[in-house]
């Protein structure tokens, strides 16, 4: 790259890091514990994913508007992989080629300049780290599913969603770190799904207010848990039964994913151990509270940091 191009790319990564830093939801792998060379690449992935997730999840857009925004995001993804200097007119042509109705660019919450900067950085990251575009497409597929699917019949259906909404992030982080190992991918998938599921149980009330419920229908029916009790903000024994079932399976996924925390090296190892320990602590707090998220949403705070760090530093490999 020329000096100008290098400076331009540096500005693009700075935009991604700002978007990652300013977003309301902390993304575990975007912390400063990561090795410095990884951080810009992780920030680019994060900015792409969080913005697309907001299209599907935030604001008061219509279903058609949400799909349109994701169509355009898909077109921009495909364009940035091929040429970082692709113009909006060329992106619109790509959009038409994948059947995406193009009705204006610069979708909220990003303006045209922010979106252009983000995709410039993302394209550079994908090429530099040889990231599979399929993993980004999986994420977009999950975000689309959030627009139309608000209930899940079985545990397998929930896991299928996690496979596309959470697991690609772990695999992308491993690729950015230089790992391409099926065994690591499998363990990473287990942790990512467990983290996603823990977030579902932690956010049971918040998701319900958005019309979504991730506790599978077969578990709800087996425990006779009623949706009316959620509307009334009642944590009944039936709901405790259903949540205990899904929490037990979630814990098993954490256990299955633990090996990845031992098989990576350096600061990434510490980061993954802290992420694993943090997820497990939230799950423990859910169980201790009897899953009563109506009285208090279990979360991690500053007071948790010393013990989590100590446990990560004194970690015993399983």
Compute the Cα dihedral for 52, 58, 63, 68 and give only its sign.
negative
Q: What is the pLDDT of residue 258?
A: 96
Q: Where are the domains of the chain?
A: 1-148, 150-318
Q: What is the pLDDT of residue 111?
A: 61
Whole-angstrom distance, CA of residue 205 vs CA of residue 203:
5
Q: What is the pLDDT of residue 28?
A: 44
Q: What is the pLDDT of residue 110?
A: 62
CATH class name, domain 1-148? mainly alpha
Mention every residue, 6+ apart, whose C-beta is less than 8 A from residue 299. 202, 282
Q: What is the pLDDT of residue 31?
A: 64
Read off the pLDDT of residues 219-230 as tens digits, 9 standing for 90 and up. Answer: 999 999 999 999
Low-confidence ranges of the chain (pLDDT < 70): 1-4, 22-31, 83-112, 318
Whole-angstrom distance, CA of residue 47 vs CA of residue 116:
12
Q: What is the pLDDT of residue 27?
A: 43
Q: What topology does CATH give the domain 150-318?
A: Farnesyl Diphosphate Synthase (1.10.600)
Q: What is the pLDDT of residue 89?
A: 54
Residue 36 DSSP class: G
Whole-angstrom distance, CA of residue 54 vs CA of residue 109:
8
Residue 258 DSSP class: T
């Amino acid at each position: 790259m020329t000096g100008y191009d290098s400076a331009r790319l540096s500005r693009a990564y700075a935009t991604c890091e700002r978007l990652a830093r300013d977003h309301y939801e902390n993304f575990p792998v975007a912390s400063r514990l990561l090795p410095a060379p990884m951080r810009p690449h992780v920030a680019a992935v994060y900015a792409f994913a969080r913005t697309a997730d907001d299209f599907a999840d935030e604001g008061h857009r219509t279903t058609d508007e949400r799909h349109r925004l994701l169509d355009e995001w898909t077109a921009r993804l495909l364009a940035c992989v091929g040429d970082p200097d692709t113009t909006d007119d060329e992106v619109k042509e790509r959009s038409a080629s994948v059947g995406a109705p193009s009705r204006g660019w610069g979708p909220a919450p990003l303006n045209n300049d922010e979106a252009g900067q983000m995709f410039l950085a993302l394209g550079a990251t994908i090429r530099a780290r040889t990231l599979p575009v399929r993993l980004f497409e999986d994420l977009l597929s999950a975000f689309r599913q959030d627009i139309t699917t608000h209930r899940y019949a079985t545990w397998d259906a929930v896991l299928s969603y996690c496979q596309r909404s959470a697991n690609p992030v772990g695999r992308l982080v491993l690729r950015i770190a230089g790992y391409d190992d099926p065994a690591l991918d499998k363990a990473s998938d287990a942790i990512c799904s467990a983290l996603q599921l823990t977030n579902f149980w932690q956010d049971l009330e918040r998701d319900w207010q958005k019309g979504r419920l991730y506790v599978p229908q077969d578990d709800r029916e087996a425990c006779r848990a009623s949706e009316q009790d959620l509307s009334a903000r009642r944590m009944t024994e039936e709901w405790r039964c259903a949540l205990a079932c899904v929490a037990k399976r979630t814990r098993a996924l954490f256990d299955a994913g633990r090996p990845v925390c031992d098989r990576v090296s350096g600061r990434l190892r510490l980061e993954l151990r802290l992420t694993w320990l943090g997820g497990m602590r939230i799950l423990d707090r859910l169980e201790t509270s009897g899953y009563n998220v109506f009285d208090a949403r279990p979360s991690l705070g500053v007071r948790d940091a010393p013990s989590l760090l100590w446990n990560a530093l004194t970690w015993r490999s399983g």
